[in-house]
Amino acid sequence: MLEIKNYKIPSSFSVKEAVNQMDKGGIGFCVCVDHNDRVLGIISNGDFRRAVLNGCDLNDNVEKIINKDYLYVSSDYDQKEVNIIFSDNEVQHIPVIDKGTLVEIITEGTLLGLERDENKQILNNPVVIMAGGKGKRLDPFTRILPKPLIPLGDDPVIKVIMDGFRKFGINDFFISLNDKGRMVKAYFHDHESKYQITYIEEDKPLGTAGALKFLKDKIDVPFFVTNCDIIIKSNYRSIYEFHINASYDLTLVGSMQHHIIPYGVCEIDNGGILKELREKPDYTFLVNTGLYVLNPFLFDLIPKSTYFDMTELIQKVQENNMKVGVFPVSAGAWNDVGQWHEYKNTTSYLGL
């Protein structure tokens, strides 16, 4: 059973503080309470995403974005009632409320006897993992091992990524290889794999998007592209539906990142007159994580056998008056293992 205190946020919190607390809880769900511990509403990853897309200031009070029209059960609930709520609604958590106070959170799939509709999660879209880079940010580690085989617990990062997609039914993977590519193939050869893997072998470095050209006429449905050094803890079905429902041609996943400048920042005017001195300002940016959904006709925009980055492809998509979408996730949903300090943070965050 969940430790309830870890999933309650006071109504005095800002949106940013609430999302940080939600990240710590690890289930993408919290309940907002007033100073008397009475439930005011809930906040989920979906509520956060909608708030960002609607231009919400993360310093605003969390009450501006909480969902006050939520589903819940009383403390005398029965299993059948809960089963119906989960089967008939797109919810993953149900608060249990007794006299206005939160007493329990029921998570989908954990209730004994719950018949979960697996079809709600199934995706049949292929995933392309860009694993041809040299991993210079992890030097000297990558002088010995290729970046995709960096260990995260008992498995290499590339398998952790693939296992994350498999939870949503995805089994079809394309892996681009260049530097130390034979070691990656040897790993999957020596370890029995439950995945359908096709390798894209680059004769020379082709950037973060150039190798996709090899897949023209091999993929005819929207597909995921991911860097091989990131872990995204999000609902891939939601990402795909966001892409499809808004008719985007390319969707990138962006993470809200907060940075505090540990100094006073000077703004000047008229050749040196101090206009404002801001002490330790806090900035928030929506950062590209390296996870995308692409429509297959975008292969036509990629040059053949040419070094070509994803940023160049995005620019071409926009130049051709096509739509590029951004799917926001919280800071804690993105783990970048491509540099040492982030690698250490990720192993700690994932409890490895």
Q: Are 211 and 171 found together in one domain?
A: yes
Distance CA 346, CA 339 (A): 10
Q: Are residues 89 and 181 in the same domain?
A: no
CATH number of 106's domain: 3.10.580.10
136 and 41 within one domain: no
**How many structural domains does the chain have?**
2
What pLDDT is recorded for position 142? 60
Are 181 and 297 in the same domain?
yes
Q: Quote the pTM value.
A: 0.86
77 and 193 in a single domain? The answer is no
- Per residue in 231-265, pLDDT tens? 999 999 999 999 999 999 999 999 998 888 999 99
Same domain, 32 and 173: no
CATH number at residue 337: 3.90.550.10
Q: Same domain for 62 and 150?
A: no
Whether 111 and 126 share a structural domain: no
Q: Are residues 182 and 224 in the same domain?
A: yes
pLDDT digits (tens, 9 = 90+) for 72-114: 999 999 989 999 998 888 888 999 999 999 999 999 865 433 3
Average pLDDT over residues 193-211: 90
Q: For the chain, what is the largest distance between any 2 Cα atoms, rounded to a whole number of angstroms?
A: 72
Q: Indicate the pLDDT class of residue 282, thresholds 50, 70 and 90.
A: confident
Which of 76, 99, 118 marks a domain boundary? 118
Domain end point (choices 96, 118, 140) = 118
Q: Residue 137 CB: number of other CB atoms within 10 A?
A: 17
User: What is residue 346's predicted lDDT score, i.e. its pLDDT?
Assistant: 59
Q: What is the dihedral of CA 165, 168, 169, 172, to 10 degrees?
A: -30
Q: What range defines the domain where residue 64 resides?
A: 4-118
Per-residue pLDDT, 90 = 83
Indicate if 199 and 236 belong to the same structural domain: yes
